[in-house]
Amino acid sequence: MDATILNALRDPAGVPFYPVVFQALYILTWALHAAFVLLSLGAMGLSLYGATKQRNDANWKILTPHLIQTGKLSVSLLIVLGVAPLLFTQVIYDPNWYVTNTLSGIWVFAFIYALIVGYVMYYWYYYANKAGKASSPLIGFVSFAILVFCGAIMHNFAVESIQPTKWMEWYAPNGVIDMSGLNFHYDIIRLAFMVSLAIPVVGIFLQNYSDFLSSRKDFSASYIAFTKNLGTKMGMIGLVISAVLFAVWMLRDGLLFNPLVIATVLSVVLLLWMVSRSDRNSYMTTGVLVVVALLISAVREYIKYSLMTGIGYDIYNYPVNLEIPSIVMFLLTFVFLGFTGVAFIAAMAWQVGKNEGLVYDCDKNPALRKLGFSTLWILMVWMAVYFAWGMFTLFKNTL
Ligand code: HEM
């Protein structure tokens, strides 16, 4: 295949900054998206098991609603964090993204509705479990299946976008144009690997959960030990399953001895060792998990980048039309509003979790109070600058 047409289809305005920066941001933000995809699927999946055990088991009675809550919050985070890689991939790989949306138009629409139905059902599951309804595992299972289906649709886009040589065959099989938008293509090993990662992710989360709660007096030592052991088992078994699937995937694609893949395998081995040492501080394990997630994200991008350069579409040759004001606005937002806001929410969540009473009063913590007010002030200044700048640009260009 010759990429002349793809190169001609690139945005004539070019990209506003160096493509490598968008590529790095794509890798970073997809890893964040994946982290919450895996935590939500893992926590929800485990909660389904817990929902069947909680009647007769005191530990599962405490853990199950906590898992449901974790999954519920993670779905909202995975949606928010999915937008960023979507935007970055559209900037540098726009022909790929739009072709897949044309080939699979029905699935693009289905995705949105499936996500809405799946997430609404998740809330139904949450309330049904809270009310002790016997139907809650069934409702939860349907919601879980719909959310996994959403992941399969996303996987379809990812798989289609890295096979440009097949696009014509899919668009017009035997020369007859197929306008149905029903194209659905999958790579079962890659999908199984992605979904299997939910097991070690929830395992490591449980280790963190156990360490976090160990300082609270209202959770018994036996519950802390139960969650730690469960986390360690799930982390170790899950990592072995994922590592085997990853190796099969890489072997099939001839990438097993690629330096990036070797680095990923080595970091997984390190992670496995850290997970097995359950007496150690598990927050360090999460740090290594972050590195592994970034490496997996980089491997995905490496596969796409090398396939596309192979046919003559190189993102590094994308015309650059430096747009400094937009970049400055983006970076200032990212650093000041983003870092302060996330620091406040994370610190607040930490303190609330450590609090043993029903109400946590942030006003009694001067540092946190200051951080909260700083976030509000930065947000207000940001909104004023954002709209003023927008109006200025609009009128400068039109009047
Ligand atoms: C429950 C909902 C979701 C699940 C389970 C899910 C899962 C996944 C999975 C497994 C992949 C990797 C596919 C692969 O590499 O083979 C993926 C990729 C991706 N997801 Fe999601 N996702 C969900 C929702 C979303 C949402 C709401 C967005 C955007 C708003 C989003 C944006 C993306 C993007 C941009 C990619 C990369 C696509 C590519 O490389 O071509 N996802 N998602």
Q: Which residue has the tokens 């996500």?
A: 115
* Nearest atom of ligand 1 to the alpha carbon of 119: 1
The answer to whether residues 85 and 24 touch, using CB atoms and an 8 Å cutoff, is no
Q: What is the pLDDT of residues 38-52, one digit of tens each?
A: 999 999 999 999 999
What is the model's pLDDT at position 111? 98
Residue 1's pLDDT band, with cuts at 50, 70 and 90, is confident
Residue 399's pLDDT band, with cuts at 50, 70 and 90, is confident
Q: How many Å apart are CA 274 and CA 280, to the nearest integer?
A: 8
* Nearest atom of ligand 1 to the alpha carbon of 147: 1
Q: What is the 3-state secondary structure (H, E, C) of the chain?
A: CCCHHHHHCCCCCCECCCHHHHHHHHHHHHHHHHHHHHHHHHHHHHHHHHHHHCCCCHHHHHHHHHHHHHHHHHHHHHHHHHHHHHHHHHHHCHHHHHHHHHHCHHHHHHHHHHHHHHHHHHHHHHHHHHCCCCCHHHHHHHHHHHHHHHHHHHHHHHHHHCCHHHHHHHHCHHHCCCCCCCCCCCCHHHHHHHHHCHHHHHHHHHHHHHHHHCCCCCCCHHHHHHHHHHHHHHHHHHHHHHHHHHHHHHHHCCCCCCHHHHHHHHHHHHHHHHHHCCCCCHHHHHHHHHHHHHHHHHHHHHHHHHHHHHCCCCHHHCCECCCHHHHHHHHHHHHHHHHHHHHHHHHHHHHHHHCCCCCCCHHHCHHHHHHHHHHHHHHHHHHHHHHHHHHHHHHHHHC
* Nearest atom of ligand 1 to the alpha carbon of 161: 41
Instruction: Compute CA distances 252 → 187, 189, 249, 255, 261, whole Å.
Output: 11, 10, 5, 8, 13
pTM of the model: 0.95
- The average pLDDT across 119-145 equals 97
Q: What is the pLDDT of residues 196-234, one digit of tens each?
A: 999 999 999 999 999 999 999 999 999 999 999 999 999
- Is 72 near ligand 1, meaning CB less than 6 Å away? no
What is the model's pLDDT at position 239? 98
What is the model's pLDDT at position 372? 95
Pocket test for ligand 1, best of 154, 184, 195 (most atoms within 8 A of CB): 154
What is the model's pLDDT at position 2? 80
223 or 6, which is more confident: 223
φ, ψ (nearest 5 deg) of residue 281: -65, 120
Residue 340's pLDDT band, with cuts at 50, 70 and 90, is very high
Q: How far is the CA of 170 from the centre of ligand 1 (A)?
A: 22
Of 74, 95, 119, 127, give the one whose Cα is nearest residue 10: 95
What are the boundaries of each domain within the chain? 4-322, 323-399
